[in-house]
Amino acid sequence: MSFAVRYSASARDGLARLYEHLLDRALTVEDLDLAERALGAITEAAESLKRSPFIYRKADDDPFLRELLIPFESSGYVALFEIDDAATVTILSMRHQLEDDYH
């Protein structure tokens, strides 16, 4: 069984915001590379939802609302996602682990 992974508009906006934040802070070519690597880590982790989304931690009492922790450098990112049905997962939002809560 493989799940289709979709991004909500809010999740796409969050991903763009995170990427732009890294680009805005970039002072060197290595910093630009960091932004690309972060984007790659996030998209690769999101791909793991295709295989087994139920293994990730619950975000609240709803068993279909879950969080994907994405390690990167000294901290990382968090993707809030919902298992819609037996074939679809929707990423609802994205944030850096050090940001305020996003529920």
Print the SS3 string covering 23-34.
Answer: HHHCCCHHHHHH
Select from 3.30.2310.20, 3.90.1010.10, 3.30.420.40, 3.30.465.10 the CATH code of 4-96.
3.30.2310.20
Q: CA 81 from chain center: how many Å?
A: 8
What pLDDT does residue 31 have?
87
CA distance 91 to 65: 10
What pLDDT does residue 47 have?
94
Q: Flag whether the pTM goes above 0.75.
A: yes
CA distance 42 to 34: 12
Note the residue count of the chain.
103
What pLDDT does residue 1 have?
76
What pLDDT does residue 101 have?
60
Which residues of the chain, if any, have pLDDT below 50? 102-103
